[in-house]
Amino acid sequence: QRPLCRLLSCPGTVAAALGREEQSLGSAETGSEDRTPKKRFSEVQKERREQAQRTVLIHCPNKISEKKFLKYLSQHGSINNHFFYESFGLYAVVEFRQKESVASLQNVTRTPSLATEAAVPFRSRYFNLKLKTPLNQTSEQPSIQCRTQSSPSSKKLFELLCCAESVDDQLNTLLREFQLTEESTRLRYLTCSLIEDVAAAYFPDCTVRPFGSSVNSFGKLGCDLDMFLDLDEIEKFSTHKASGNFLMEFQVKNVPSERIATQKILSVVGECLDHFGPGCVGVQKILNARCPLVRFSHQASGFQCDLTTNNRIALKSSELLYMYGALDSRVRALVFSIRCWARAHSLTSSIPGAWITNFSLTVMVIFFLQRRSPPILPTLDYLKTLADAEDKCIIEGHNCTFVRDFNRIKPSGNAETLELLLKEFFEYFGNFAFNKNSINIRQGREQNKPESSPLHIQNPFETSLNISKNVSQSQLQKFVDLARESAWILHQEDKDRLSPSYNQPWGLAALLLPSVANSMSLAKKKKKPASERIKNLLESIKSSSTENSTATNGR
Ligand code: CTP
Ligand code: MG
SS3 for 447?
strand
Q: Give me the sign of the Cα torsion angle 178, 180, 182, 188.
A: positive
- Does the pLDDT value for residue 224 go beyond 50? yes
Burial class (CB in 10 A: 0-12, 13-18, 19+), 124: middle
d(CA 208, CA 201): 13
Of 293 and 146, the structure prediction assigns the larger pLDDT to: 293
Evaluate whether 227 touches 192 at the Cβ level (below 8 Å): yes
**Mean pLDDT taken over the chain:** 86
Neighbouring CB atoms inside 10 A of 184's CB total: 26
**Helix ranges, 386-498 (H):** 418-430, 473-495
Neighbouring CB atoms inside 10 A of 143's CB total: 7
pTM (2 d.p.) = 0.87
Ligand 1 mean position to 421 CA, how many Å? 24
- Does the pLDDT value for residue 16 go beyond 80? no
Establish whether this prediction's ipTM goes over 0.85: yes
Q: Give me the sign of the Cα torsion angle 304, 307, 312, 313.
A: negative
Evaluate whether 28 touches 36 at the Cβ level (below 8 Å): yes
Of 4 and 250, the structure prediction assigns the larger pLDDT to: 250
Ligand 1 proximity of 462 Cβ (cutoff 6 Å): no
Question: For ligand 1, atom 29, which residue shows the shortest CA distance?
Answer: 224
d(CA 60, CA 66): 10
What are the distances in angstroms from CA 413 to CA 32, 328, 416, 498? 17, 11, 9, 31
Taking only the tens place, the pLDDT of each residue in 103-147 is 999 999 988 887 788 888 888 999 999 988 776 655 556 678 888
pLDDT at 233: 66
Burial class (CB in 10 A: 0-12, 13-18, 19+), 545: middle
Ligand 1 proximity of 45 Cβ (cutoff 6 Å): no
- Does the pLDDT value for residue 238 go beyond 80? no
Ligand 1 proximity of 226 Cβ (cutoff 6 Å): yes
CB-side neighbour CA atoms (13 Å) of 343: 14
Taking only the tens place, the pLDDT of each residue in 438-484 is 999 999 999 999 999 999 999 999 999 999 999 999 999 999 999 99
Taking only the tens place, the pLDDT of each residue in 347-405 is 999 888 999 999 999 999 999 999 999 999 999 999 999 999 999 999 999 999 999 99
Q: What angle do CA 108, 112, 118 make, to 5 degrees?
A: 145
Q: What integer is the mean pLDDT of 486-493?
A: 91
d(CA 515, CA 297): 34
d(CA 535, CA 541): 10
Ligand 1 proximity of 301 Cβ (cutoff 6 Å): no
Ligand 1 proximity of 224 Cβ (cutoff 6 Å): yes
Proximal ligand: closest to the CA of 362? 1
Query: What are the phi and psi torsion angles at 418 (to 5°)?
Result: -60, -35
Taking only the tens place, the pLDDT of each residue in 46-77 is 999 999 999 999 999 988 899 999 999 999 99
